[in-house]
């Protein structure tokens, strides 16, 4: 059998450098110019458009590999509780909706962008999440009527829960995206918004060491393990 060709074969920079640059840009709320200056301080002279090219080319590939590994790992565990919520995102002067599913540990399961917030959009979003991750035992939503209408059609309306403060897990998970949104100075196309939201979700899940829930020693071990796994992506 022939060996799979390396996706980095047409680039002069090493794969380790490319991984580092993509990680810095996606993981931290920094504009391209700031990333360029930060890399220059570390001894790497890359033009900001090179950073843009690399994240566009390799970001989806890294995110897909992270998601594939997590899905395979998560299928062996029960999903006690899902939290669903939608948020407004301003795109080229108009409002669109970013639907997001978060599990009980704060990991982002699915991100989906639509122009409307109706039953059809909720149905497509939930069907996509259920197909990839299986069925949650409990699904927490807000009072939007689109959720029960879509869940009735999907046959899992009996799993729905709704109440004051019950969906704070999903509300808090919006914060990292809002920070990135401000750094990027809004989005101009739905395709770009969908792409970045999905990539950011995978990166957030991978590097989320839950430092506020564990001691320093455990946090350092988790952070080191995540970094080693990241460096071996698409190796």
The predicted pLDDT at position 235 comes to: 64
Are residue 95 and residue 70 in the same domain, yes or no? Answer: no
Are residue 117 and residue 25 in the same domain, yes or no? Answer: no
Query: Is residue 148 included in any domain, yes or no?
Result: yes
- For residue 83, give Cα distances in angstroms to 32, 145, 160, 205, 214: 32, 16, 10, 15, 23
pLDDT tens profile 218-228: 999 999 999 99
pLDDT tens profile 100-128: 999 888 889 999 999 999 999 999 999 99
Query: Is residue 195 included in any domain, yes or no?
Result: no
Are residue 130 and residue 37 in the same domain, yes or no? Answer: no
pLDDT tens profile 137-184: 899 999 899 999 999 999 999 999 998 788 888 888 888 888 888 887
Are residue 183 and residue 85 in the same domain, yes or no? Answer: yes
Pairing of strands 108-114, 94-103: antiparallel
Write out the two tokens for 50.
Answer: 């090179």
The predicted pLDDT at position 145 comes to: 93
Q: How many domains are contained in the chain?
A: 2
Are residue 85 and residue 105 in the same domain, yes or no? Answer: yes
Query: Is residue 197 included in any domain, yes or no?
Result: no
Are residue 32 and residue 118 in the same domain, yes or no? Answer: no
Are residue 90 and residue 183 in the same domain, yes or no? Answer: yes
Query: Is residue 88 included in any domain, yes or no?
Result: yes
Residue ranges making up the domain that contains 216: 15-74+209-231
pLDDT band, very low/low/confident/very high, at 81 (cuts 50, 70, 90): confident
Query: Is residue 144 included in any domain, yes or no?
Result: yes
Are residue 85 and residue 184 in the same domain, yes or no? Answer: yes
CATH number at residue 138: 3.30.420.10
Are residue 52 and residue 116 in the same domain, yes or no? Answer: no
Query: Is residue 116 included in any domain, yes or no?
Result: yes
The predicted pLDDT at position 151 comes to: 94
- Do residues 106 and 45 touch, judged by C-beta distance below 8 A? no
Residue 83: CB atoms within 10 Å: 26
Alpha helix positions (H), 7-46: 15-27, 32-41
The predicted pLDDT at position 169 comes to: 85
Are residue 94 and residue 64 in the same domain, yes or no? Answer: no
Are residue 70 and residue 88 in the same domain, yes or no? Answer: no
The predicted pLDDT at position 113 comes to: 94
Query: Is residue 7 included in any domain, yes or no?
Result: no
pLDDT band, very low/low/confident/very high, at 76 (cuts 50, 70, 90): low
Are residue 70 and residue 97 in the same domain, yes or no? Answer: no
Query: Is residue 180 included in any domain, yes or no?
Result: yes
- Statement: residue 79 has pLDDT above 70: no
């Amino acid at each position: 059998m022939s060996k799979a060709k390396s996706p980095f074969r047409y680039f002069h920079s090493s794969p380790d450098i490319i991984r580092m640059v993509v990680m810095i840009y996606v993981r931290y709320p920094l504009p391209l110019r700031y990333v360029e200056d930060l890399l220059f301080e570390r001894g790497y002279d890359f033009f900001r458009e090179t950073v843009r090219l690399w994240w566009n080319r390799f970001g989806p590939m890294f995110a897909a590999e992270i998601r594939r590994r997590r899905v395979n790992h998560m299928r062996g565990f029960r999903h006690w509780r899902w939290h669903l919520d939608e948020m407004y995102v301003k795109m080229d002067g108009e409002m669109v909706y970013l639907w997001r599913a978060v599990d009980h540990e704060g990991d982002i399961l699915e991100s989906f962008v639509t122009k409307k917030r109706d039953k059809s959009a909720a149905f497509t979003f939930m069907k996509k999440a259920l197909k990839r991750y299986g069925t949650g035992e409990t699904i927490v939503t807000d009072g939007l009527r689109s959720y029960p209408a879509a869940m009735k059609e999907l046959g899992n309306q009996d799993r729905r829960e709704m109440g004051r403060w019950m969906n704070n897990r999903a509300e808090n998970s919006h914060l990292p995206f809002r920070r990135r949104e401000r750094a990027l100075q809004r989005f101009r196309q739905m395709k770009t918004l969908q792409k970045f939201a999905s990539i950011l979700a995978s990166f957030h899940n991978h590097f989320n060491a839950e430092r506020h829930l564990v001691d320093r020693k455990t946090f350092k071990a988790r952070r080191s393990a995540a970094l080693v796994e990241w460096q071996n992506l698409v190796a």
